[in-house]
Amino acid sequence: MATISDVATRAGVSTATVSRALNGKSTVDPELAARVLAAADELGYRPNGPARNLRKQETAVLALIISDVENPFFTAISRGVEDVAHSAGYSVVLCNSDDEPDKEREYIDVALQERVAGVLLSPAGAGDSADLLRTHGTPVVALDRPLPNSFGDTVLVDSRDAARDAALHLSAQGYRDIACITGPTGVLTADDRLAGYQDGLREAGRTVSDDLVRRCEFKAAGAKEAARSLLTQDPRPEAVLVANNAMAVGVLETMAELGLRAGRDVGVVAFDDAPWATLLDPPLTVVSQPAYDMGAVGAQLLLSRIGGDRTDASTTTLSAHLVTRGSSSRS
């Protein structure tokens, strides 16, 4: 593959001139520049990225560490990140931590080694893997969940308020004994949604009971079980707030198996909107989260840090909103 000196030779100039011409730095005689461009073109020359990165001591690469690309919520985040990164000339390496601290740590290691310009991280748990980044001075933005000992910027969604709204809504629709299926203890979004749910119940003057709460992984399988244990109780809860999209699938499966209809038999509200939510009968009431925006804002913040902005660590909280549909109404 052609190198810069091949181009230099062919254009009859020095490598420095080629570099300048190609990078548009300082000024180069138009005629020489043209010769350089021509030579580069003829040779199919492409600057060697690693060499340039080594020399400049920086790369135009961001790492995005999320739990799972197959989760539509993270998928939307990653699209937001990619769009912003790409238009700023950055590439994105995608890492699936599966919410395993070890995997997360491993990826952070790789990111450090490759000297990525910055990292967008949706932290798996209470691990300290992000400390590595701090000690190495790599800019970080936390997405969806804050970093344990917070440094760097954070972009969150106001889950708690949204969950509260959802609980109030269910209550206002006349459902009593409202249950909640949320994620594992220690995962902030899971805890927040639970807290919001409790806020809402209290505000509505309803009793708050742990018997109506289930926790499991943020996946369909666990939620399916949880829903079964919840909905086969006597008396059966009248409604349920589900903490994410994948879980909602599990809950709705259980309901179908038990012959329970959303809305009429059990009021349902789930976090995360999806294209198919309106196709259900009745359509699913959801808490819509601004996932794409979260990615885009996060990438923006990261890029400005990389650009050298030395402001204090910020926390941006985006708000989610309730989208009312048939599954949360008896009629």
Partner DNA sequence: GTGAAAGCGCTAACAG
Partner DNA sequence: CTGTTAGCGCTTTCAC
Identify each DSSP E strand in the chain by its residue range. 61-66, 91-96, 118-121, 140-143, 153-157, 178-182, 213-215, 239-242, 267-271, 285-288, 315-318, 321-323
Shortest Å distance, C-beta 24 to DNA? 11
State which of residues 17, 19, 67, 96 lies at the interface with a copy of itself (CB under 8 A): 96
Among candidate residues 65, 127, 54, 67, the one with its CA nearest the CA of residue 92: 65
Our finding on whether 72 is near a copy of itself (CB under 8 A) is yes
CA 330/CA 259 separation, integer angstroms: 16
The piece of 29-37, 68-76, 172-180, 302-310 that touches a copy of itself (CB under 8 A) is 68-76
Our finding on whether 22 is near a copy of itself (CB under 8 A) is no
Shortest Å distance, C-beta 306 to DNA? 15
Our finding on whether 136 is near DNA (CB under 7 A) is no
State which of residues 34, 38, 42, 55 lies at the interface with DNA (CB under 7 A): 55
Our finding on whether 44 is near a copy of itself (CB under 8 A) is yes
CA 94/CA 263 separation, integer angstroms: 39
Our finding on whether 306 is near DNA (CB under 7 A) is no
Q: In what order do the strands lie in the sheet with 285-288?
A: 213-215, 178-182, 239-242, 267-271, 285-288, 321-323
Residues 6+ apart with CB under 8 A from 150: 142, 313, 315
Backbone phi, psi, residue 92, to 5°: -125, 125
Q: If binding means CB under 7 A, how many residues of this protein chain bind DNA?
A: 32
Q: Which of residues 35-54 bind DNA (CB under 7 A)?
A: 45, 47-48, 51-52, 54
Backbone phi, psi, residue 249, to 5°: -60, -45
CB closer to DNA, 24 vs 275: 24
Our finding on whether 100 is near a copy of itself (CB under 8 A) is no
Our finding on whether 3 is near a copy of itself (CB under 8 A) is no
Our finding on whether 24 is near DNA (CB under 7 A) is no
Residues 6+ apart with CB under 8 A from 247: 181, 216, 218, 219, 220, 222, 223, 270
Among candidate residues 245, 189, 182, the one with its CA nearest the CA of residue 212: 182
CB closer to a copy of itself, 1 vs 210: 1
Q: How many CB atoms lie within 10 A of CB 204?
A: 16
State which of residues 3, 15, 75, 288 lies at the interface with a copy of itself (CB under 8 A): 75
Which partner in a copy of itself, DNA, none is near 26 (CB below 5 to 8 A by kind)?
Answer: DNA
CB closer to DNA, 16 vs 126: 16
Give the position of tokens 């073109």.
41
Helices vs. strands in the chain: H and E counts, helices first: 12, 12
Our finding on whether 109 is near DNA (CB under 7 A) is no
Our finding on whether 310 is near DNA (CB under 7 A) is no
Our finding on whether 279 is near a copy of itself (CB under 8 A) is yes
User: What does the binding site for a copy of itself look like in residue numbers (CB under 8 A)?
Assistant: 1, 44, 46-51, 53-54, 59, 61, 68-70, 72, 75-76, 78-79, 82-83, 86, 91-96, 109-110, 112-115, 135-137, 220, 246, 249, 252-253, 256, 274-276, 278-281
Interacting residues toward DNA by CB under 7 A: 1, 3-5, 12-20, 22-23, 25-29, 31-33, 45, 47-48, 51-52, 54-57
